[in-house]
Copies of this chain bind each other. A is one copy, B any other.
């Protein structure tokens, strides 16, 4: 404990930028990378409609102690997403509007925290998006060290510093840095395929036929019966 790793390698900015511009959804990217890296479903945005894609600056914090978030702020640069996980479960409000001002100054995209956040009215007003376990006004102390930019587990997902963080109304997904380009391409391909499926569904075709499910269902033994009177 007590280590800050500087000058980490980040997911390439144009790749993160492409995720952001195309608003690649968390569900899409999660599927595209083989259904790994999703954070737990209790991670919810403090307001609806935000979408972020950026490089993870990771922070491991003690329960009820946000000192290291101040340390981490200095390590953030434009396009980063701060990802904070306590070493044991906490619902303290580690983060509020003042820290958000500081991060906005550095063009940080948002915060992912497996704990509480506060000042959510202000954060909404200044449009600093946060995905958190809960909302809590409970403050923290500044007494114990943690780590910045070491691997952490946040809400059940492993996050390496520099990984791509993708977050929207559906939740938060981690894309390993080395795979970001291929996941981007797979996501785009997936969206294009879905666009074609969408057209067919809107034309009244059923998924049963589009995905050719009927014979497989029959092979499994699906039976159709009419309701008895």
Partner-B contacts on A (CB < 8 A): 1-9, 25-27, 30-31, 34-36, 38, 40-42, 44, 48-49, 62-65, 67, 70-71, 73-74, 87-93, 96-99, 101-102, 105, 116, 118-121, 124, 134-139, 141-145, 149, 151, 153, 156-158, 161, 168-171, 173, 194, 197-198, 201-202, 204, 206-208, 211, 213, 217, 220-227
Contacts and interface: CB of A to CB of B under 8 A. Distances in A.
A211 B143 contact: no
A135 B208 contact: no
Contact of A62 (B30, B141, B206): B141
Given A2-B220, A144-B220, 14 more contacts: A1-B35, A6-B227, A30-B138, A30-B139, A40-B89, A41-B91, A48-B124, A70-B208, A97-B198, A101-B202, A102-B207, A135-B170, A141-B143, A158-B158
8 contacts: A7-B226, A63-B92, A70-B213, A102-B201, A105-B201, A135-B169, A136-B170, A151-B158
A2 to B, nearest CB: 5
A3 B223 contact: yes
